[in-house]
Structure 1
Amino acid sequence: MEDLLNYYSTLSFLEIIAVISSLLYVILAARTNVWCWPAAFISTAIYTFLFYKFYLWMDSFLQVYYMGMALYGWYCWNKHTEEFDAKKVQLKVYQLKTHIIIIISLSVISIIVGALMDAYTPTDFPYLDSTTTVFAVFATYLVAQKVVENWLYWIVIDSVSIHLYVEKDLMPTAFLFTVFIGLAAYGYYKWRKEYKTYDGLTVNLAS
């Protein structure tokens, strides 16, 4: 325990801010609080720099995308500001066959991107890094669109990401993503409960 405390006492100030703002984002998003998006913007701006520095270039690219999605999410959740009520915002559920098509499509894209990264960049873990990036891009869109199953995607993405961060000795971030798994489970429970309570919308994109 003492070694762990000593380690955290020497953390980069930037990484500490990124960890705290990331936690705020997930907690506020799980509670359908619109202020999750400014927290997301701050954390992703910092992680863009950190991941580039540690040669996780796909993750660095992903953070740039997250910054844009933070602005998009803020817009989507506030488009009718005068009517905004977190409990009245319509949540959506995708049917199983829609998710199957999504997963197959994203897997193919991940392999293609991984092959390109492996051939043309010095990035580490090109296929694994590309897979978490591609799926996270789509999962972030699901958050902005208030699709309940986004949290299930994040549980898997975060689990895989932990391995990447441990290998790159980004231990605070690895710990953060461990916490994210628990928060994602909480988010799914809470959004699913609200969906059933407030008559959400079932969407079948495969039809």
Structure 2
Amino acid sequence: MMAALLSDLMQQIAATSWLEWSAVVLAIAYLVLAAHQSLWCWYAAAISCTIYTYLMFTAQLYMETLLQIFYIVMAAYGYWQWRYGKAQKDATQVRELSWFWHLRWIVALTLIAAGIALAMQHYTDADAVWLDTYTTVFSLFATWLLTRKQFANWWYWLVIDAVYVYLYSSKGFVITGALFFVYLILVFYAMWQWQTTRTEQQQCSSSG
């Protein structure tokens, strides 16, 4: 079993185009840069998603194409927010939203995702429709939270990326599943980095 998985992984690596590898590297760079609250993260995200838009379109995955286009728009919005908007300050200075605020959005998005999933299940031949829909809806929400420098975005990404590891691996996309496992590790790194910065800022404020 392990030998078969390793063989499949090696075949997928060999078959992966330089364009796809570029998108993957930039996607990883995006998370690392976001962990350090660097504006460059949005450039990496925009270029990565632009490449993925082309790849998804040529593969005739039109919903994924639209999702990548939305991510490009969010990258532009995130850059503007971090450069000029309310999130231009360090994340330690951004007021966190209450747990009740998150609860209301979770309930609302759960109902929205359920409606979309039911429609897709009824009118399309989409596979893994429930997992695919919920991960998509909450990914967009988590991305929006990141544009506002809300620490809670990382908690959402922990759950989302864990589901993506299972979803892609179960569909035979071993490399993509491995990529999201790397994302999981990077999310823990981002949480540690943001929390460390927050602690340092609090110590500086106390000593000042």
TM-score of the two chains, using structure 2 as the length reference: 0.82
What is the DSSP-based 3-state SS (H/G/I as helix, E as strand, rest coil) of the residue aligned with 2:167? helix
- Give the whole-Å Cα distance in 1 for the aligned partners of 2:35 and 2:84: 19
Higher relative contact order (CA 8 A, sep 6+): 1
Aligned to 2:73: 68
How many residue pairs get aligned? The number is: 196
In the alignment, the residues of structure 1 paired with residue 56 and residue 159 of structure 2 have an alpha-carbon distance, to the nearest angstrom, of 20
Q: Tell me: CA distance 1:13–1:121, structure 2 relative to 1, closer, same or farther (3 Å).
A: farther
Determine what percentage of the aligned residue pairs are the same residue.
36
User: Could you list the runs of 5+ residues in structure 2 that have no partner in the other structure?
Assistant: 1-5, 203-208
Once the two structures are superposed, the pairs formed by residues 143-162 of structure 1 within 5 Å of their partners are 143-162=146-165
Q: Which has the higher helix share?
A: 2
Look at both structures and tell me which one has the larger radius of gyration over its CA atoms. Answer: 2
Note the residue ranges of structure 1 that are not aligned, 5 or more in a row: 200-207
* Structure 2 CA distance for aligned equivalents of residues 20 and 56 of structure 1: 21
Aligned twin of 1:133 = 136
1:9 counterpart residue number: 14
Query: Matches of 2:68 and 2:95 in 1, distance apart?
Result: 25
TM alignment of 1:88-107, pairs within 5 A: 90-107=93-110
Mapping for residues 1-207 of structure 1, pairs under 5 Å = 4-5=9-10, 7-51=12-56, 58-79=63-84, 87=90, 90-198=93-201
Report if the CA contact (8 A) 1:92-1:195 is conserved: no
- Structure 1 length-normalised TM: 0.82
Q: Contact between 2:9 and 2:175, CA under 8 Å: does it hold in 1?
A: no
Q: 1:26 to 1:59 in 2, by over 3 A?
A: same
Secondary structure of the structure 1 residue equivalent to 2:96: strand
